[in-house]
Amino acid sequence: MLLQIIGSEIIIIVVVAVILIFGAKKIPEIARSMGRAKGEFKKGQEETDRELEEEKKKGGSAERTKLEEAAKALGIDVAGKSDEQIRGEMRSAIEEKPK
Specify the pTM. Answer: 0.42
* Residue 67 burial class via C-beta count within 10 angstroms: exposed 0-12, middle 13-18, buried 19 and up: middle
Single-letter residue type at 69: E
Q: Residue 71 burial by CB count (10 A; 0-12/13-18/19+): exposed, middle or buried?
A: buried
Any idea where the domains of the chain sit in the sequence?
A: 1-59, 60-99
8-state DSSP, 97: S
Region 58-87 average pLDDT:
85
pLDDT tens digits along 11-68: 889 888 988 888 888 888 988 999 999 999 999 999 999 988 877 776 667 788 888 8
Q: What pLDDT is recorded for position 3?
A: 56
Question: Does residue 74 or residue 61 have the better pLDDT?
Answer: 74
